[in-house]
């Protein structure tokens, strides 16, 4: 799952990215409002974390532009403004959640997980099917109770397919959601990650529709 983090505090930004990346998220970073607006308007993110007090352009105006242009990507607002009217303004501008600084990183990570589950229609964070269990909160994966180690890219592919269980996903769509903005996106490598996952989790979990893409059936 791919997340845009729009935050100008460099140390905090690095801390958030480290926590989210450890859970298998692909995190792009914008340090000002103009860059955030551009990335959020042109890239297919699963979620956006948006600081209100960004330089060059404030987060609220960016969010309003996204919503007026029909961009429905879930947005969690981060801000040092803790007044109730500020929260109302942020939510009315189109935010899906709101956190005030300072905050605890585990809570932020939990809110990200909850938002991603809601946006994909999932209520249970644990995906279980045919002896395979994948915890979308931690990335922990087991087969018949035995832990399986996944690389970051394998976890990213599995997470996206699980969150979109029951929907056919093309190679192009997968590549757009498992690579950062400035990475070389090669949809041909998707087949490599799929084969690795099948070797580790069994051949039946991920289905291939020839010429169209991949799908995991709902649990």
For residues 18 and 215, what is the distance between their CA atoms, to the nearest angstrom?
Answer: 29
Last residue of a domain, one of 120, 138, 154: 120
Give the chain's count of helices (H) and strands (E): 8, 11
Residue 170: per-residue pLDDT: 92
Same domain, 177 and 87: no
Residue 53, Cβ neighbours under 10 Å: how many?
16
Domain of residue 59, CATH code: 3.40.50.2300
Torsion of CA 183, 189, 194, 198, to 10 degrees: -120
Residue 185: per-residue pLDDT: 65
Residues paired with 75 in a beta bridge:
48
Same domain, 110 and 184: no
Residue 204: per-residue pLDDT: 92
Q: What is the mean pLDDT of each run of 10 residues along the chain (219 residues)?
A: 94 95 90 97 96 93 95 92 77 90 94 89 83 89 95 90 92 87 72 94 92 90
Last residue of a domain, one of 72, 95, 120: 120
Residue 87: per-residue pLDDT: 77
Residue 1: per-residue pLDDT: 85
Last residue of a domain, one of 57, 85, 120: 120
Residue 75: per-residue pLDDT: 97
Q: Are 119 and 4 in contact (CB under 8 A)?
A: no
As a 3-state breakdown, the chain gives helix, strand, coil percent values, each rounded to 5, of 40, 20, 35
| Domain total of the chain | 2
Please count the CA atoms within 13 angstroms of the CA of 44 that sit on its side-chain side.
10
Q: What is the pTM of this model?
A: 0.78
For residues 99 and 107, what is the distance between their CA atoms, to the nearest angstrom?
Answer: 9
For residues 111 and 164, what is the distance between their CA atoms, to the nearest angstrom?
Answer: 19
* Range(s) of the domain holding residue 201: 126-216
Q: Which H, E and C letters describe 55-113, residue by residue? A: CCCCHHHHHHHHHHCCCCCCEEEEECCCCHHHHHHHHHCCCCEEEECCCCHHHHHHHHH
Same domain, 10 and 112: yes
Same domain, 53 and 34: yes
For residues 131 and 142, what is the distance between their CA atoms, to the nearest angstrom?
Answer: 8
Residue 144: per-residue pLDDT: 94
Residues paired with 98 in a beta bridge:
77
């Amino acid at each position: 799952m791919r997340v845009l983090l729009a935050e100008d505090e460099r140390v905090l930004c690095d801390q958030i990215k480290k926590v989210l990346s450890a859970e298998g998220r692909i995190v792009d970073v914008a340090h000002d409002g103009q860059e955030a607006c551009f990335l959020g308007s042109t890239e297919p993110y699963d979620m956006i974390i948006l600081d209100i007090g960004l330089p060059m352009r404030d987060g609220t105006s960016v969010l309003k532009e996204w919503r007026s242009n029909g961009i429905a990507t879930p947005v969690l607002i981060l801000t040092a403004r803790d007044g109730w009217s500020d929260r109302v303004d942020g939510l009315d501008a189109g935010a899906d959640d709101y956190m005030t600084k300072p905050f605890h990183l585990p809570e932020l990570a939990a809110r990200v997980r909850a938002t991603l589950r809601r946006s994909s229609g999932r209520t249970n964070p644990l995906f279980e099917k045919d002896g395979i269990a994948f915890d979308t909160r931690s990335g922990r994966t087991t087969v018949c109770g035995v832990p399986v180690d996944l690389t970051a890219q394998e976890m990213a592919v599995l997470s996206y397919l699980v969150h979109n269980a029951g929907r056919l996903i093309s190679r192009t769509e997968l590549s757009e959601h498992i690579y950062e903005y400035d990475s070389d996106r090669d949809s041909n490598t998707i087949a490599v990650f799929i084969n690795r996952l099948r070797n580790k989790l069994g051949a039946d979990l991920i289905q291939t529709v020839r010429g169209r893409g991949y799908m995991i059936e709902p649990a």
